[in-house]
Structures are given as C-alpha cells and as structure tokens.
Amino acid sequence: MNKFFTILRHTYANRVKSKSFIITSIITIALILVVSNIQTIIETFSGDDQEIILVKSEQEQWTDRISQILSSNEDLLIEPYEGTIEEAKSEVEEGNYQSVVALEEGEDELPQATYYANQIANTSTSEVVRQAVQQLKVSEATERAEVEANVLQQITAPVNFKLVALEEKAKSEEELNQTRGIVYIMLFFMYISVLMYGNMIATEVATEKSSRVMEILISSVSPVSQMFAKISGIALLGITQFSIFVLVGYVSLSQSERMSDGSVLETFGLTNIDPTTIAFAAVFFILGYLLYATLAATLGSLVSRLEDAQQLMVPMTLLVVAAFMIAVFGLSAPDAPFVTVSSYFPFFTPLIMFLRVGMLEIAVWEIALSIAIMVVSIGLLGYIGAKIYRGGVLMYGKSSSLKDIKAALQLSKRES
C-alpha cells in the first residue's frame, strides 16, 4: 500500500508542477474571469456614444414614426436627412454617420427600406431598424384598413401560453428553466474532464514506457497497483485544478453580481440550484471518470510512444463525443426513446442518465439500475484492464492497434 501511495504522490507532483498544467490553469482562469465579467467588459468597450442613423424619406410622417418607435433605444439617435440619398451615403462613407435608411413606397404603397452602412456584417443595428420599419408598415396598413389602435394592440400582443405537466412528480416550467442551465454546465464539465484527464492518463503511461522507467517500476510494484495509483493521482490533480476554477469562478461571479443586476447567474440558471442535481452530478462524474480512466490506462499500456497513444485514444474520444452530442439533443427532448435507451449504455450513462435525472422525474429503480450497470462495468473493465495492463507495460516497439490486446493478455498470463 505504501508503494501505491508513492506512485500516486509521484504522479500528482509531476503533473501539478508541469508547464502544461500551469499554462492550462492560467488560460482557463483567464477565460473564467472574462466570461463572468463579460457584461462589464462589453459596456466598457462599447462606450456611451449614441449611434446616429440618417433617415431619408419623402414621407415626413414616416420619419417621425420611426423616430418614435426607436425612441426607447438609448443607443440609437434618428436624424432626418434633407439632401439626396447619394449625399447621405457619402456622409456614411466618410465616417460622419454610422448608417442611412432610405424609406420609400413599395408597389403596395406601403413603406419599404434600404439600409446603407460601410459594413453590414454586424446586424445588431440593422435588425433593430428592420423591426421598426416592420412596425411602421403594420401601422400604415391597419390605418388604411381603419383598424382601431386598441384592436391592433390586442392582435400584436404576445399570446398567454403556459406549460402544465399533468404528472404529479413532473417538473414545472420554472423548475426546468432553472435546471437546464446547470445540467448543461455539468454536461460540459464532465465532457471536458473525461477527455482531458483520460488522455493525460494514457500519455502518462506511454511516457514512462518510452523512457524505460516502467521497467524499474514493475520490478518493485505490481502493474495493477501502478494503474490504479496513476488513475487516483490524475483524479487528485483534477480535483485540485477544478477546485481552483470553481473558487475563481465563484469569487468573480460574486464580484460581478455586486456590480450588476445578477443577470449572469440567472442566465445560466444558477440562482436556485437543486442540491439533488449537484449530488447526482458528483456520483455520475466519479463513476464516469473511473470508467474512462481505466479504459485510458489500459489503452496507454499498449503503446510506448506518445504519437501511438493519441491514435489509440481515438475510439474512446469518439465515445465521449457521441455521448455529449446525444446529451445536447436530449436537453430539448430528454424523454425521447433513444435517449432513454442510450442512458443505460455504460459509456453513455454518466452524461445521458445525469441529463435525464436533471430534466425529468424518473423512477428510483432506473437511477439505481444505471448506477449498478456502471459499477459492474467499472469492475469488469478494471479486471480485464488490469490483465491487459500487466502485459501491456512489457510491450515495446511501434504499436497502435487494438489487436495488441491479445498479445498483452498472453504476456499477462506468463507473468502470473
């Protein structure tokens, strides 16, 4: 057991001091700070200047109505233009104004518009103007049809549409909105963690084999102890790294919320998190990590070069990507039959069953069955993986094929 902890400490210490760990952590922390303060950053660089839009129209009342419609938008200022449209376009090209809108009558004698700007890639302003012209057109058409203003208001008012679940235990619309954000964040968190730390375990084993350190290790420590010590060491590294991220994110969000109206937390549904959801996220993350980490260590033991390790990790990566894609689709249709079925496939369970638990009220036996399937799968993969690992660490030379599993098992039998 002392040798197990020695390898665990060695794996953890080497990785936590590595340049890749430090650089990755710094970059991620910087991204967290940017995302958590994105609203403040946008406001800082956007400035307080209004965007002036020229309106050229033969109908003075149209210009007045456009100005009235857009009066609530403090970022835009509408100015009528008396010159020709060509002169207005020249003003925009010279940078005196941001854009010009030419309002004219269409074939139906209703307003239509052409929007001129130096660049039209940014549609934030043009879309606002388009909607204003649309309102103007509707207003003109209804006036000609002698439709009363209160009738028009009733027609254009949003319909009152509620979602009500008939099942007693089903989640309400408000609960789903609160859950969807945290489920998506947890899915992304698990997806990145499995990919990053799974590859880290595989390359750790391959690196030691390429430097012949493995020959020294296996003479004093059993390969099985090595495998699970490395898995535990990388897991401890992951806990350290994500603890830093969570702490930085929490402090940054708290600071951002004091300076704003709490929009960031509300956007991601983090204002009222169900503790049960967090508990299930922890359970499925741990089980998913153990499953994929064992698979990664097994595959890493079959190769002795980093290039081969990356190639052999492709099947595992595809499994994680497939699970994530199904889970993302399941955010809008968590009760779809294929989502339900795939949630019992052990390599998909960590992401998809967690999605179902977070978005639906499912039976306890379904959750218990999925956890049992994962535990059995981890045990079976650990048993088979240990045998492959025992023989795989003794295999050297160019190797990147899954056929080497057979050779590794044969070597394992000889050693035992």
- Angstrom CA distances, 249 to 14, 187, 192, 236, 262, stand at 26, 17, 17, 20, 14
- The average confidence (pLDDT) of the chain is 77
Assign 412 a pLDDT band (cuts: 50, 70, 90). Answer: low
| Cβ atoms 5, 228 nearer than 8 A | no
* Distance, CA of 362 to CA of 367 (rounded, Å): 8
The pLDDT tens digits of the residues spanning 248-287 come to 877 877 776 666 555 555 555 555 667 787 888 888 888 8
Rounded to two decimals, the pTM is 0.67
Return the top range by mean pLDDT from 36-40, 46-50, 64-68. 64-68
Quick check: 111 pLDDT over 70? yes
The pLDDT tens digits of the residues spanning 92-104 come to 888 888 888 888 8
Question: In whole angstroms, how large is the CA radius of gyration of the chain?
Answer: 30
The pLDDT tens digits of the residues spanning 346-399 come to 999 988 988 888 888 888 899 999 999 999 998 888 777 777 666 655 555 555
| Cβ atoms 198, 292 nearer than 8 A | yes
pLDDT given for residue 232 in this prediction: 83
pLDDT given for residue 229 in this prediction: 80
Q: What is the mean pLDDT of residues 325-348?
A: 88
Domains detected in the chain:
49-156 (3.40.190.10), 172-415 (no CATH)
Q: Which of 140-144, 211-215, 286-290 has the lowest mean pLDDT?
A: 211-215
The pLDDT tens digits of the residues spanning 279-320 come to 888 888 888 888 888 888 777 766 666 666 677 778 888 888
Higher-pLDDT residue of 395 and 78 is: 78
pLDDT given for residue 345 in this prediction: 93
Q: What percent of the chain has pLDDT over 70?
A: 75
Q: Which of 81-85, 204-208, 267-271 has the lowest mean pLDDT?
A: 267-271
Quick check: 146 pLDDT over 70? yes
Q: What is the mean pLDDT of residues 219-235?
A: 73
Quick check: 173 pLDDT over 90? no
